[in-house]
Structure 1
Amino acid sequence: MIDNRDNELENSNHDSSNHDDYEDICYICRRPESKVGKMIKIPNNICICSDCMQKTFDTINTNGTPYADLLNFNPSMMNFSNLQNEIPKSQKLKKKKPVEKEKEAPILDVKSIPSPHMIKAQLDDFVVGQEHAKKVISVAVYNHYKRIAAGSMDDIEIEKSNMLMIGPTGSGKTFLVKTLAKLLNVPLAITDATSLTEAGYIGDDVESVLSKLLAAADNDVERAEHGIIFIDEIDKIAKKKSTTNRDVSGESVQQGMLKLLEGSEVEVPVGATNKNAMVPLTTINTKNILFICGGAFPDLDKIIKSRLNKQSSIGFGADLKDKYDDDINILQKVTVEDLREFGMIPEFIGRLPIIYTLEGLTKDMLVKVLKEPKNAILKQYQKLLALDEVDLRFDDGALEEIAERALKKKTGARALRAIIEEFMLDIMYEIPKDENIGRVTITKDYIEHKGVPVIEMRGSIANQPILEDKNKL
């Protein structure tokens, strides 16, 4: 009995310490304690700010209730069973640290920030190719957190450098940022620009991207103000070229994001993506938040080709109009003028000073994507069959055939899984039937539907020497 009481006391102390980390929120106006001052607490863990309490008394007094009855008012006699007992944790705000503690212990230490070559080396384990993109994003993230850690040490104030990432579909834009989020211990929010509209219209407001970052930081405003936001499908908010109505999901969204990218104090709903009367609001300063925008920008290659073909002419040594038709890296020749013609307003592009492109995947790169990364697709299937004690291997010819088929689909690395799922279905279905199967080798003939995979039984491979062949999986 003594042990149980000690455990209950310890748990209650733990719960109270966790509760002390969060601010009290007014039950009526949903404003936190940091904005309205000290709260008035009534039974059932309900907090009311002094403004709302005064308004309540004024309303009761104007309705004819004698003031003497208010003096005899006892909150414990009221029935609060229908009221909310506790605000959800997703809508609670963490208390800010005292100023003295912030001076003693800085939020970020320059020495703890990994250098660019270390960030790129970790990205190399997961992302194949894209050397230029990995170098740019490593340097940008390193400089961003050095800028935050340095603060305002002298009169020179370092501006932040937001990024615009352009690349064909399936080239690894989203995967690159997701991998970066795993490597860095910072809050990161990945959102989609397709659902954003101008404030007041159906859809998510621009501030909703900050709400997702605040949720990723466990409602800690200080951590959220040093996070990273990746806005995917940024090309979907391009200015519509032929429309007579108000462009609420295109140019208006770009205009609404201008202050967000540059740095300003924004009121953000806590625990929700849109503002309403029942959601608490907090203020986030976007000055130290790094924004990374990415998009495939379809038909941007046609704009680039038309600009480059203006110099084409007839005669010996002249540039032909079909010179750039087969160039898979045509996006690397993009300029700011091309993006303006695509539909991005100049003010928006000006707040994204770092513009870089990702390479289109070639056949050799697709083969490397299949087998080299730590979480490669083939390694995932090998692990699945290893649970059945079966060794799965692929011939070099099979890998090249898979890469060639993926190139024809023109969807980048996303096509690889669709192709592998197709020919691995029968193998994953038949192998568990026979426990004597020890090894399965996928050949080019099997992928071309001209043969069957090579199956070896356990007894035939038991006496074979184990060879380490790095070229075969």
Structure 2
Amino acid sequence: MFGPFSLRLLRQSAALPTSASASVDAALRAAQSELDLLSPKKIAEVLDKYIIGQTEAKRAVAVSLRNRWRRRQITDGGLKEDITPKNMLLIGPTGVGKTEIARRMAKLTDAPFVKVEATKYTEVGFKGKDVDSIVEDLYAMAKTKAKSRMEAERDVEALRMAQDILFSSWSSRRVPGGPFADMIIEEFRSKALTDLKDEMVTFEITVPPPAASHHSRRGGMGEGGVDSPGGGSGGLIFIGMAERRSIKKRITKTIQEAMPMVRQEALDKLIDETQVNELARRLAEEDGIVFIDEIDKVVVDPKGEGGEASSTGVQQDLLPLVEGSSITLKDGSTIRTDHVLFICSGAFHVAKPSDMIAELQGRLPVRVELKALKEEDFRRILTQPKYNLLAQQKALMSTENITIEFTDEAIHTLAKVATEVNSNAQNIGARRLHTVIERVMDDYSFNCDLYAGQTIVIDAETVRKATEKLNKNINLAKFLL
């Protein structure tokens, strides 16, 4: 139950006369400071921890990220506005690291990032998703990040508010003369989640309103409802207000259970949704990264002459987004894509990049060709990345009290088998390693109870036996995903 002091504190904190734009600017600067100390060379070094080879692609990505930082340092507003990102086209077979490079690039700066497949979109006027929904997805991702950052800024304040609220409720239940009868608020703050964690408190939280009943949907007030002749639009307005009305619910929990709930309630009071939306808009516009995969699949479309959306139409619809335009979202807000970085990728086995419409080619000035992976690359992928596949398997099996070790010969054999399977079946690049490793680990994973407490050394012979059927069969593809 809220006491007078805690209620007053909550209202005052929610109504602090802070400048919305100043708060958004501060959050944006904090978000963008990630790149302050990262030169292109350092960015490439970070990418090296997760991605093997593809030096040219890493250089292009590093320069692109640094150019964003350079643009922010420019004080001439007009010049700054005219500097747009150099969109990229990554060309290479599947499984060579195109998507991973873009994903790591976004993680490095905590930028809003969406990955879409060009084949999922249709030309405007045809049934299916249109390309404007890409911006909707980007804004949704930006909004999630914006709210997290705003919450992080106010988290300490929200914690103190939650402690004050719970102290007020707990104080009203204290037994005079009890062990905590004389405790003050500062002592409560330090002991709330230790000595007092099992103490009971009663408090209020906001819960979503219940779904409108059939009666309320028809007006809820007898004559003059939405469907009645005299209702008009007034009924609609009334219903909208009713559905938006928050509902308070009193519940009783231990302090340990109540703290995160009341803390989140305080955060919701402290954070202005308008500021979240504004920060999300600016994050999407200035830091957003859109990765469009399988762009080559919409370059050649043999069915384009029929009733389906033509590939040329999808390319033309992508043009306004890639070159920069204002997109109106479903909620009425507008997102400019002038400074969103677009990265397109494709294998281009059938079509060539030059088969794209000329306008789209011109909007992708940075082109990088990624090389197919060789046996040595597979060996390095198994051992060098920070969270490599073998380290993942070791960590998983350690939870079953099983120690897994791979000999150098086993690692070489894994790489060799993956290379052979890729050459005889469909080449899916590094993803083939997942299939080969799962074959090797299958028995240990399934019969983990038999191997508990043991150290399993996987050598070359173990790998060969586990993958024997793959090597014997001419058509290896049917054994694999």
TM over 0.5: yes
Q: Is the 8 A contact 2:117 2:292 kept in 1?
A: yes
Mapped partners of 1:128, 1:100: distance in 2: 40
Residue 353 of structure 2: which of 339, 349, 357 is its match?
339
Q: Say yes or no: does 1:221 pair with 2:281.
A: yes
* Residue in structure 2 matched with residue 203 of structure 1 by the alignment: 128
Q: 1:297 aligns with which of 348, 355, 379?
A: 348
Query: Alignment partner of 1:448: what SS?
Result: helix
What do the CA deviations read for 1:34-54 (whole angstroms, capped 9, x no partner)?
xxxxxxxxxxxxxxxxxxxxx
1:72-111 matches, cutoff 5 A = 98=21
Select which of 107, 128, 131 maps to 1:182.
Answer: 107
Distance in 1 of aligned mates of 2:24 and 2:65: 26
The percent of aligned pairs where both chains have the same amino acid is: 31
Structure 1 pair 254–149 and aligned structure 2 pair: CA distance change class (3 A):
farther
**The residue matched to 1:132 in structure 2 has which SS?**
helix
Q: What residue ranges of structure 2 are gaps of 5+ in the alignment?
A: 144-276, 469-481
**Offset at 1:350?**
0.7
Residue 255 (structure 1) aligns with: 316
Please tell me whether residue 349 in structure 1 is matched to residue 410 in structure 2.
no
Match of 2:53 among 123, 126, 129: 129
Q: Of residues 406, 410, 422 in structure 1, which corresponds to 2:439? A: 422
Structure 1 gaps of 5+ residues are 22-95, 270-279, 301-337, 453-473
Matches within 5 A, 1:378-393: 378-393=390-405
The residue aligned with 2:219 is none
The residue type paired with residue 293 of structure 1 is C
Mark the CA change 1:243 to 1:257 in structure 2 (over 3 Å): closer, same or farther. closer
Give the AA of the match of 1:126.
Y
Aligned position for 2:459: 443
Contact 2:142/2:283 (8 A) holds in 1:
yes
CA-CA distance at 1:382 after TM superposition: 0.5
**What is the alpha-carbon distance in structure 1 between the residues aligned to residue 21 and residue 413 of structure 2?**
62
Structure-2 change in CA distance of 1:123 and 1:245 (3 Å): same
- 2:65 counterpart of 1:141: yes
- Aligned amino acid, residue 378 of structure 2: L
Deviates more, 1:121-130 or 1:142-151: 142-151
Mean CA deviation greater in 245-254 or 414-423: 245-254
Return the letter of the residue paired with 1:406.
A
Provide the C-alpha distance between the structure 2 equivalents of 1:445 and 1:399, rounded to a whole number of angstroms.
11
User: Aligned partners of 1:294, 1:6: CA distance in 2, in Å?
Assistant: 58
Measured after TM superposition, the shift of residue 110 of structure 1 is: 10
Q: Cα distance, 1:229 vs. partner?
A: 1.1
For residues 111 and 467 of structure 2, the distance between their equivalents in structure 1, rounded to whole angstroms, comes to 50
Higher relative contact order (CA 8 A, sep 6+): 2
Aligned pairs for 1:238-277 (under 5 A) are 238-241=299-302, 243-245=304-306, 248-269=309-330
**Contact map agreement 1:267 1:281 (CA 8 A) in 2:** yes
CA RMSD of aligned residues (A): 3.3
What SS class does the counterpart of residue 194 from structure 1 fall into?
helix
Specify whether residues 110 and 121 from structure 1 end up closer, same or farther in structure 2 by C-alpha distance, changes over 3 A only: closer
Deviation at 1:291, TM superposition (A): 0.7
**Does the aligned pair in 1 maintain the 2:402–2:453 contact within 8 Å?**
no
Deviation, structure 1 residue 282? 1.6
Distance 1:155 1:183 in 2: 27
Q: How many residues align?
A: 325
1:339 deviation in Å? 1.9
Distance 1:245 1:185, change over 3 A: same
More helix by share: 2
Hey, what's the Cα distance between the residues in 2 that align with 1:109 and 1:398? Answer: 43
Structure 1 CA distance for aligned equivalents of residues 124 and 445 of structure 2:
50
